[in-house]
Amino acid sequence: MTINIILLGPPGAGKGTQARKLVEERGLVQLSTGDMLRAARSSGTEMGKRVAEVMDRGQLVTDEIVIGLIRERLSEGGNGFIFDGFPRTLAQADALGQLLDETGMILDAVIEMQVDDQALVRRITGRYTCGNCGEVYHDETKPTAKQGVCDVCGSTDLKRRADDNEDSLKTRLLEYYKKTSPLIGYYYAKGKLAPVDGLAAMDEVATQIDRVLPVSSEIATGT
């Protein structure tokens, strides 16, 4: 039995971090629509050619194409899937539900990474990354031991993302609340929603998620 989940939450809530832990610890496959589109574009397949044509025209890829890419990936099998960044709208949620029904797959849980907006702003605007090794720091909670120098590799190439500022984050949050937050009620009504504290320490968030998901296929099937 596979485990299939959706990670839901605003930008900066930590979805990517938790997805990586689930990939490493449970062998799940992270389905990021951005990664799938980039891979499809260079694949040379019929679907890839459709993606390339749309993107080359500067247009947004349709939900139909994204669902087609997900269908292809699901057919390859695996221990389970993490839907990261999809669905973003109610229409996409309906389309994904129909696809899972068609393929005989079950959505086990929708993990909602709950955050306080003001705390999220402080988290995002204070973070910076080593451009050499990728280590992530924060002005308040994890500063470098020596100012301007990475603790891990000693590089002085410390960077902040251009959109990690209060105005940009508020714009991204508004977009999330307009388009994606309705999914919270949608999946609650289906009995799939599992809220976790997205502002807790990384390991605590992972523990909360583990409590929601079955430990193994034997537990999931009751054997």
Six-digit token string for 176: 């999330």
User: Has 38 been annotated as catalytic?
Assistant: no
Q: How many helices (H) and strands (E) does the chain have?
A: 10, 8
User: Has 161 been annotated as catalytic?
Assistant: yes
DSSP letter at 160 equals -
Catalytic member of 41, 50, 123, 127: 127
Beta bridge partners of 138: 127, 142
User: Has 57 been annotated as catalytic?
Assistant: no
User: Has 160 been annotated as catalytic?
Assistant: no
Alpha helices in the chain (DSSP H): 15-26, 33-41, 46-56, 63-74, 90-102, 117-125, 166-179, 182-189, 202-212, 217-221
User: Nearest CA to 83 among 214, 95, 53, 55?
Assistant: 95
Catalytic member of 73, 122, 160, 172: 172
Give the Cα separation of 46 and 48 in Å (integer).
Answer: 5
User: Has 20 been annotated as catalytic?
Assistant: no
Contacts with 64 (C-beta within 8 Å, 6 or more apart), sequence order: none
Q: Distances in Å between the alpha carbon of 49 and those of 38, 71, 152, 187?
A: 11, 16, 42, 34
Catalytic member of 159, 161, 178, 190: 161
Catalytic member of 26, 73, 88, 179: 88
Q: What is the set of active-site residues? A: 15, 88, 127, 161, 172
